[in-house]
Chain A
């Protein structure tokens, strides 16, 4: 669940950057893109909604300990 919470923005980034790859010489139909973006966007919102519900039910303070980064305190 926690991993999913971390994964979701990555998924979103992928979805939002995907059209940059497509189309001949970076040109594509605006109407198509428009529909694509809003569908992807809405899908992400729905996933975030489901995730937030799950996380809230499990308790925000989640037992997971935050991963320690660079704990050597250099």
Chain B
């Protein structure tokens, strides 16, 4: 027989153990040995603060009353966890990059660091959580009472109240000791988290032990258990679809909107990867927690006397079977569930209260600013400690006022529904950039008011917080405003009714107000950072340059972060800027970074306000806004700009390379020209000199010889003159000093003349010239002499260079959009690709042989002429031989 005193001893021992575990964890963390403290297992177990005494004891009671429905409280979180990739991952990432300290801070930070929103969410959280804390205190005292009733000394109700007070005081002490050791949200509460992980194990083992006992110890096996379920009042499940869906939704929302859940899930998260483990491990934990709920309920209904409180079956069933030890274990499980919830909730709420209510007030009173003396750090910590105590006192008072009533048992769902009001603003905030502060505030207030009116106030029972008159007939006799039948919708379960209306109105107001206004610049910046948290983690700049003195900033930072941390931070920033010492340049980037550091301690809104006192009003430049407005477009533009730039670079490099190749080749051509021109001049001169000498010698020459030799001298002199003429011609053309002699002409006549002029060259092989006279009948208004010079040159080139066995030149006239094209295509080997670029350069006669008569000036002259005539000449590749295209401009061609 376990005595009450023994139970107290066990309980105290357990509490001491908790303190020791927390203490050791803190010591290990301080020593830097955080490996297992930050393991995914500890993270997953810490999430079990979801399972409070309400679920530990209450689930069985719930099952005993309503059958399977209790399971919805676990199904919602399961769905959210296995869908972690969609919402939780984003929340955790945002929490890290923005150094979020609480759910109120998240909402406040998202909507332009608005403290109004922070205050609203904080108040909602306090209102929603305090009754819940009271519920925990009640469950602990009730479980004490179970043992006390069996003890020799009967406990009076007053003793139970004393128990509640002691429990509350003990929890306050623990929370203050381990929950307010540091300020920074990113320095985690290792002691608390570890203790909670241990409690998670205790409550799981306790519930599993009781479950195994009722199946194998009481029923005598699984089959028998199922038979007993079939025989029990719970044999049939009456699915209430509305409640089923509604409760699943509520519990799904609660898993990240409950302040304590947000605390362990987001704020205390040490590593994003832990979420991956928790995504299956936490549902598994919930699975195990609920596995034996129905068997325990069925057994309780069977073995316990009529009228026994089903909420205490977990304790009373083992006791009734004489399993004192098991009952004690179950007691510890319930105790663990209650304490861990209270501890984490107190930490989360105190952070909100101090950051969103106390600090702004303090800043307001100290208008002179954060630069005045005084350790902000101490003030913040003190504010948190006082908040913790105050919250527990509130919980205790609430328990005293409503304790023992049916009200408290229902408060779990009421609380869930209350904090779920944050959901639209939260999800809208992280997925929709158009969400505004006003929209969020409108949604929160309307949703919260609806919740209070339809669920919270009526939950106290008729005539307590709300008169029975209003409950039945509505306020002022307005029937359609009846709290549990809004707009005349009757016949729905009150909880579902309240959740439906509050969330609907909340969401509607949130969207409607958001859409009807524009987000402020700061909201846009923050909104972009939250919604696109995976794309960029860089901070938006909300600060203008130069307004703040680094020294003032350091003084302020020291008082919040502590002098060592602040100096380290400043020194690091200074050295990153390439400066020695502790004072970095107060660039917008640095101020932004500092603000984020401070936000980790006092919340975004307070940090923003404090920095604002020194740095002046934040300024959001037009450029910043533009950047936010269409960041996606910008990023894409930037990358395409980069691409274009690199393409441009590549193109320039290619052009340079080509130009260089061309230059090199031209330079080689120039060298070659010197020997070429030398050759072209010396060859005729050789003949001239030789025959002159012969003539001068006065040797006996026949008349024929005399005539012949003098005519050779004459011809070679002409040849020399022609060469010099070409050179002069080209230089005149190049300098643009040529005067064109435009006259009417016909393309066919010009070609006839050119073919005739080159006929004399046709010595060795007879070159066939293919033409289509009909197409050549084009009237021209141009310098016909110059144009035929070009044709002659091209035909002559074909004569000289076409190396086919049966040389053939095809002249094709085409009408093109840009004018009349005259193509000269021979059937030789053509001009190699590498030479095509330089053939129009001067002196670029290809090859190194002299069979060609000119000095390589012909094509260069042609090009100059065509330029002057407004047309063009180009090499036409891919024609099976050398091919040139002369284009006569259309206007000129048709001007005839």
B584 is an interface residue with CB less than 8 A from chain A: no
**Residues on the B chain within 8 Å of A42, using CB:** 287
**Residues of chain B in range 244-298 having any CB-CB distance to chain A below 8 Å:** 244-245, 248, 272-273, 276-277, 279-280, 283-284, 287, 291, 294
Using A16-B248, A45-B283, A73-B528 as known contacts, say yes or no to A31 and B82 having CB atoms under 8 A apart.
no
Q: Judge whether A68 and B632 touch: CB under 8 Å.
A: yes
Q: Judge whether A6 and B68 touch: CB under 8 Å.
A: no
Q: Could you tell me the distance in whole angstroms from the C-beta of B80 to the nearest C-beta in chain A?
A: 7
Size band of the interface chain B makes with A: 35 or more
Using A16-B75, A34-B229 as known contacts, say yes or no to A70 and B237 having CB atoms under 8 A apart.
no
Q: Contact string, B56-94, partner A, CB cutoff 8 A, digits 1/0?
A: 000000000001100100010011111111100110000
Q: How far is the CA of A6 from the CA of B276 in the complex (A)?
A: 13
Stretch at the interface among B377-385, B429-437, B552-560, B832-840: B429-437
Q: Of all chain A residues, which has the CB nearest B433? A: A73
Using A6-B85, A6-B86, A56-B273 as known contacts, say yes or no to A31 and B229 having CB atoms under 8 A apart.
yes
Q: Judge whether B237 and A29 touch: CB under 8 Å.
A: yes
Q: Judge whether B434 and A74 touch: CB under 8 Å.
A: yes
Q: Judge whether B82 and A9 touch: CB under 8 Å.
A: yes
Using A66-B534, A70-B433 as known contacts, say yes or no to A41 and B78 having CB atoms under 8 A apart.
yes
Q: Contact string, A32-74, partner B, CB cutoff 8 A, digits 1/0?
A: 0110011001101111110110011000110001101111111
Q: Judge whether B432 and A17 touch: CB under 8 Å.
A: no
Q: How far is the CA of A34 from the CA of B86 in the complex (A)?
A: 29
**Residues on the B chain within 8 Å of A34, using CB:** 68, 229, 294
Q: How far is the CA of A34 from the CA of B527 in the complex (A)?
A: 44
Q: Judge whether B239 and A26 touch: CB under 8 Å.
A: yes
Q: Judge whether A68 and B532 touch: CB under 8 Å.
A: yes
B304 is an interface residue with CB less than 8 A from chain A: no
Q: Judge whether A17 and B283 touch: CB under 8 Å.
A: no
B230 is an interface residue with CB less than 8 A from chain A: yes
Selected from B86, B239, B277, B531, the residue in CB contact (under 8 A) with A68 is B531
Q: Judge whether A52 and B86 touch: CB under 8 Å.
A: no
B393 is an interface residue with CB less than 8 A from chain A: no
- Chain B contact residues: helix, strand, loop or mixed: helix
B515 is an interface residue with CB less than 8 A from chain A: yes
Q: Judge whether A48 and B280 touch: CB under 8 Å.
A: yes
B236 is an interface residue with CB less than 8 A from chain A: yes
Using A38-B287, A56-B273 as known contacts, say yes or no to A30 and B68 having CB atoms under 8 A apart.
yes
**Residues on the B chain within 8 Å of A46, using CB:** 280
Q: Contact string, A1-15, partner B, CB cutoff 8 A, digits 1/0?
A: 010011011101100
**Residues of chain B in range 830-883 having any CB-CB distance to chain A below 8 Å:** none
Q: Could you tell me the distance in whole angstroms from the C-beta of B214 to the nearest C-beta in chain A?
A: 14
**Residues on the B chain within 8 Å of A13, using CB:** 79
B235 is an interface residue with CB less than 8 A from chain A: yes
**Residues on the A chain within 8 Å of B397, using CB:** none
Q: How far is the CA of A16 from the CA of B291 in the complex (A)?
A: 16
Q: Could you tell me the distance in whole angstroms from the C-beta of B274 to the nearest C-beta in chain A?
A: 10
Q: How far is the CA of A47 from the CA of B279 in the complex (A)?
A: 10
Q: Judge whether B276 and A52 touch: CB under 8 Å.
A: yes
Per the CB 8 Å criterion, the residue count for chain A at the interface is 46
B628 is an interface residue with CB less than 8 A from chain A: yes
**Residues on the A chain within 8 Å of B276, using CB:** 52, 55-56, 60
Selected from B244, B277, B519, the residue in CB contact (under 8 A) with A20 is B244
Q: How far is the CA of A70 from the CA of B272 in the complex (A)?
A: 26
Q: Could you tell me the distance in whole angstroms from the C-beta of B525 to the nearest C-beta in chain A?
A: 11
Q: How far is the CA of A1 from the CA of B630 in the complex (A)?
A: 29
B238 is an interface residue with CB less than 8 A from chain A: yes
Q: Judge whether B519 and A73 touch: CB under 8 Å.
A: yes
- Chain A contact residues: helix, strand, loop or mixed: helix
Selected from A28, A44, A45, A60, the residue in CB contact (under 8 A) with B272 is A60
Q: Of all chain A residues, which has the CB nearest B74? A: A41
Q: Judge whether B85 and A55 touch: CB under 8 Å.
A: yes
Q: Judge whether B241 and A20 touch: CB under 8 Å.
A: yes
Q: Judge whether A8 and B532 touch: CB under 8 Å.
A: no
Q: Judge whether B235 and A31 touch: CB under 8 Å.
A: yes
Q: Could you tell me the distance in whole angstroms from the C-beta of A19 to the nearest C-beta in chain B?
A: 6
Q: Judge whether A48 and B434 touch: CB under 8 Å.
A: no
Selected from B71, B234, B277, B631, the residue in CB contact (under 8 A) with A52 is B277
Q: How far is the CA of A5 from the CA of B239 in the complex (A)?
A: 29
Instruction: Pick from B277, B515, B524 the residue with the most CB of A within 10 Å.
Output: B277
**Residues on the B chain within 8 Å of A26, using CB:** 238-241
Q: How far is the CA of A47 from the CA of B477 in the complex (A)?
A: 54
Q: Judge whether A29 and B434 touch: CB under 8 Å.
A: no
Q: Judge whether B239 and A20 touch: CB under 8 Å.
A: yes
**Residues on the B chain within 8 Å of A48, using CB:** 81-82, 279-280, 283
Using A68-B532, A70-B433, A71-B433 as known contacts, say yes or no to A28 and B236 having CB atoms under 8 A apart.
yes
Q: How far is the CA of A46 from the CA of B534 in the complex (A)?
A: 28
**Residues on the A chain within 8 Å of B695, using CB:** none
Q: Judge whether B432 and A45 touch: CB under 8 Å.
A: no
Q: Contact string, B190-233, partner A, CB cutoff 8 A, digits 1/0?
A: 00000000000000000000000000000000000010011000
Selected from A33, A55, A65, the residue in CB contact (under 8 A) with B68 is A33
Q: How far is the CA of A48 from the CA of B519 in the complex (A)?
A: 38
Selected from A23, A44, A66, the residue in CB contact (under 8 A) with B239 is A23
B672 is an interface residue with CB less than 8 A from chain A: no
**Residues on the A chain within 8 Å of B83, using CB:** 5-6, 8-10, 12
**Residues on the A chain within 8 Å of B534, using CB:** 61, 65-66
Q: Of all chain A residues, which has the CB nearest B227? A: A31
Instruction: Pick from B82, B84, B85 the residue with the most CB of A within 10 Å.
Output: B85
B629 is an interface residue with CB less than 8 A from chain A: yes
Q: Judge whether B78 and A30 touch: CB under 8 Å.
A: no
Q: Could you tell me the distance in whole angstroms from the C-beta of A17 to the nearest C-beta in chain B?
A: 7
Q: Judge whether B280 and A41 touch: CB under 8 Å.
A: no
B703 is an interface residue with CB less than 8 A from chain A: no
Q: Judge whether A66 and B90 touch: CB under 8 Å.
A: yes
Q: Of all chain A residues, which has the CB nearest B286? A: A41
Q: How far is the CA of A6 from the CA of B86 in the complex (A)?
A: 6
Q: Judge whether A49 and B280 touch: CB under 8 Å.
A: yes
Using A41-B78, A48-B283 as known contacts, say yes or no to A28 and B532 having CB atoms under 8 A apart.
no
B704 is an interface residue with CB less than 8 A from chain A: no
Q: Judge whether B287 and A29 touch: CB under 8 Å.
A: no
**Residues on the B chain within 8 Å of A19, using CB:** 237, 239
B535 is an interface residue with CB less than 8 A from chain A: yes
Instruction: Pick from A17, A28, A37, A52 the residue with the most CB of B within 10 Å.
Output: A52
Q: Could you tell me the distance in whole angstroms from the C-beta of B720 to the nearest C-beta in chain A?
A: 76
Q: How far is the CA of A52 from the CA of B241 in the complex (A)?
A: 32
Q: Judge whether A31 and B244 touch: CB under 8 Å.
A: no
Known contacts A30-B294, A34-B294, A44-B82; 13 further A-B pairs (Cβ under 8 A): A5-B84, A5-B86, A16-B79, A27-B236, A29-B236, A41-B78, A42-B287, A45-B78, A47-B82, A48-B280, A55-B276, A56-B273, A72-B434
Report the 5 A-B pairs with minimum CB-CB distance, sorted nearest first.
A9-B83, A5-B85, A48-B280, A49-B280, A52-B276
Give 15 A-B contacts (CB < 8 Å), ordered by A residue: A9-B86, A16-B75, A17-B244, A17-B245, A20-B239, A28-B236, A28-B237, A30-B67, A38-B287, A44-B283, A65-B535, A66-B535, A69-B431, A70-B433, A74-B434
Residues of B within 8 A of A (CB): 67-68, 71, 75, 78-86, 89-90, 226, 229-230, 234-241, 244-245, 248, 272-273, 276-277, 279-280, 283-284, 287, 291, 294, 431-434, 515, 518-519, 524, 527-528, 531-535, 628-632
